[in-house]
Amino acid sequence: MPHFCNDDVDIAYLDEGEGEPIVLVHGFASTKEVNWVQPGWVATLTRAGRRVIALDNRGHGASAKLYDPAAYHGAIMAEDVRALLDHLEIARADVMGYSMGARITAFLAFAHAARVRSAILGGLGIKLVDGVGLPEDIAVALEAPALEDVSDPTGRMFRAFADQTGSDRRALAACIRGSRQTLSRDQVARIATPVLVAVGTNDPIAGSAQALAALIPGARALDIPGRDHMLAVGDKVYKAGVLEFLQARP
């Protein structure tokens, strides 16, 4: 597995296929394999003739584990993606993020518009501007002695997911405390790249895809029917909508 360093933080990534590049940014407590390989995204995109690059965000997977919440600001994590493009000598790429990864993608598109050919925000709607990400209760759940000690349903779901993936729960608790930033309505209105916002219709975490798309000039919204925050990731409607968007974007 290839690695590179950004400001002394070791970042693991995969790089598969040939063609126009797309960078994939996974969600909180996930990894490049869980978010993108296992649900078939890497296979789908490489079959479509794309070069697929996916990183493990800092604190996740095979990347460096950090325990200071300040190290996980959304703008800092966006710079990891920008640094990966620099490392691979890619001037411009499509970027797709899911959940926290979509928040990172939005920060990247705002700060480095020239590097982002298009942005796909999966699992994140209007809560990009009206919410600060996943609740603090999840950090408490991650720090609990055992899953049985967690009563909050959302916290329990993420704690079980972290246990399942063998994650460093201390690093994840720092991440969730440090990455809960929003962009303002004025900031998202200044995102100039083509944007697709894709959210499951049963997803209470993301907020409305249509409400966010309405704030970004030219953005499109995609409903993923009958899917919640977890199940939307590998949905065929999501994949078909992304492929159509990538084909149609300038």
| pLDDT digits 0-9 by tens, 30-74 | 999 999 999 999 999 999 999 999 999 999 999 999 999 999 999
- CB under 8 Å to 175, separation ≥6 — which residues? 28, 57, 58, 59, 60, 69, 72
Residue 171 lies in a domain: no
What predicted TM-score, i.e. pTM, was given to this entire model? Answer: 0.96
User: For residue 53, what is the domain's CATH number?
Assistant: 3.40.50.1820
Residue 117 lies in a domain: yes
Residue 154 lies in a domain: no
Residue 57 lies in a domain: yes
Q: Give the residue from 100, 110, 122 showing the smallest Cα distance to 179.
A: 100
Residue 140 lies in a domain: no
Q: Which domain holds residue 218?
A: 3-133+184-248
Residue 217 lies in a domain: yes
Report the alpha-carbon distance of residue 115 to residue 98 in Å, rounded.
19
Total structural domains within the chain: 1
Q: What is the pLDDT of residues 78-122, one digit of tens each?
A: 999 999 999 999 999 999 999 999 999 999 999 999 999 999 999
Report the alpha-carbon distance of residue 57 to residue 64 in Å, rounded.
9
Cα angle 115, 116, 121; round to 5 = 150
Residue 214 lies in a domain: yes
